[in-house]
């Protein structure tokens, strides 16, 4: 079996991401670097998940975000959030 999956971003890429709180999307004010990519395949659907390393107020945290809420620029993220809300 040969499996080939294209992702929007690669390990080491910097991304901005949308957070979801109380039925509202908003752009996170911090960007992060992708450290790991997880691929989930179920029922013929593919879900790409990025582990993102974010430095926030002197702490480094690792968060997982789906590909659909990761963006190459803060402006792209902001626009997407405005359209979703």
pLDDT tens digits, the chain, 85 residues: what are they? 777 889 999 999 999 999 888 989 999 888 999 999 999 988 888 899 999 999 878 889 899 999 999 999 999 999 999 999 9
Cα separation, 39 vs 50, whole angstroms: 9
Cα separation, 31 vs 82, whole angstroms: 18
Q: For residue 29, give the DSSP letter.
A: S
Task: Read off the pTM.
Answer: 0.84
Other CB atoms within 10 A of residue 21 CB: 7
> How distant, in Å, are the alpha carbons of 13, 41, 48, 67 from that of 45?
24, 6, 10, 13
Bridge partners of 56, per DSSP, are: 59
């Amino acid at each position: 079996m040969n499996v080939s999956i294209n992702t929007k971003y690669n390990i080491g890429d910097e991304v901005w991401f949308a957070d979801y709180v109380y039925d509202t999307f908003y752009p996170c004010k911090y960007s992060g670097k992708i450290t790991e990519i997880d691929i989930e395949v179920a029922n013929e659907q593919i879900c790409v998940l990025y582990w993102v390393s974010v430095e926030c107020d002197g702490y480094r945290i690792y968060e997982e975000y789906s590909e659909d809420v990761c963006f190459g620029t803060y402006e792209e993220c902001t626009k997407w959030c405005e359209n979703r809300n």
